């Protein structure tokens, strides 16, 4: 890693060290809260840069900080059922909670990783379309469109578990939800079969490309059977 990149990594790590306990608006730009996914993804980033640093004081410091964030979040935001919840005061689920294991925070076989994926697919998905979180008591499709970003993240999460068939199903269902030019919007209206929200949406394309690349390389633990029900 170049000198400039190391400097940027140190600035990022120092910002996390100083501010990880603060409330933030989260990935979905909501009201400030102690969002679980924000803390977990910070810990995942610290783990990755600590790994790139190999050995040395910086690597030890970043690894220790990642461990501290994970331990504190585990005490405050792990649901009694074993899955991560949105925040210490919100026991519901969120698609963003699937991302930290994909970014290297926890292994695929960690019980919290598996429990979160099981709970998420059971409560926030419909016909291989995925939603961010539950807004209220309305059916998911009445509150907002399915988030195509979340569909590709779910494909990656299933792939990480070795559930290849389910991963391909998730990928193909969401890959097909594009407009005639082959561009993706932010959301997809499952009932009316139309795109919603910003078009084109860059982060959807980015996750589609990542999923297509990763699914072409089976995980070491991959199986060719669907995920157990």
N residues, the chain: 229
Domain chopping of the chain, boundaries? 124-229
pLDDT tens for each residue of 117-127: 999 999 999 99
The H or E element spanning position 188 is strand 187-189
Helices (H), ranges, the chain: 3-19, 36-52, 57-77, 99-102, 111-123, 140-143, 148-160, 164-175, 202-215
Q: Please name the residues in contact with 77: beta carbons below 8 A apart, sequence gap of 6 or more.
A: 34, 36, 39, 84, 85, 86, 87, 88
Q: Please name the residues in contact with 29: beta carbons below 8 A apart, sequence gap of 6 or more.
A: none
Task: List residues bridging with 223 in a β-sheet.
Answer: 163
* Whether 33 contacts 92, CB under 8 Å: no
| Better pLDDT: 217 or 97 | 97
Q: What six digits make up the tokens of 204?
A: 């959807």
pLDDT tens for each residue of 170-184: 999 999 999 878 899
When pLDDT is cut at 50, 70 and 90, the band that residue 148 belongs to is very high
């Amino acid at each position: 890693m170049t000198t400039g990149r190391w400097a940027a990594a140190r600035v990022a790590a120092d910002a996390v060290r100083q501010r990880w306990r603060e409330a933030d608006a989260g990935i979905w730009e909501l009201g400030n809260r102690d969002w679980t996914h924000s803390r977990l993804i910070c810990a995942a980033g610290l783990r990755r840069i600590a790994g790139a640093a190999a050995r040395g004081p910086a690597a030890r410091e970043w690894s220790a900080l990642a461990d501290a964030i994970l331990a504190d979040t585990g005490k405050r935001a792990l649901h009694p059922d074993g899955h991560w919840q949105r925040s210490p005061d919100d026991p519901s689920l969120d698609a963003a909670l699937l991302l930290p294991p994909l970014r290297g925070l926890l292994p695929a076989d960690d019980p919290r990783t598996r429990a979160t994926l099981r709970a998420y697919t059971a409560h926030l998905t419909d016909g291989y379309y995925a939603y961010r979180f539950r807004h209220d008591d309305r059916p998911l499709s009445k509150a907002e469109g399915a988030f195509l970003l979340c569909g590709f993240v779910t494909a990656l999460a299933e792939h990480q578990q070795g559930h290849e068939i389910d991963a391909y199903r998730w990928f193909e269902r969401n890959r097909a939800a594009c407009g005639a030019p082959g561009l993706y919007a932010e959301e997809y209206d499952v009932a009316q079969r139309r795109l919603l929200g910003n078009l084109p949406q860059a982060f959807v394309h980015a996750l589609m490309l990542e999923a297509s690349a990763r699914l072409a390389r089976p995980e070491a633990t991959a199986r060719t059977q669907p995920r157990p029900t």
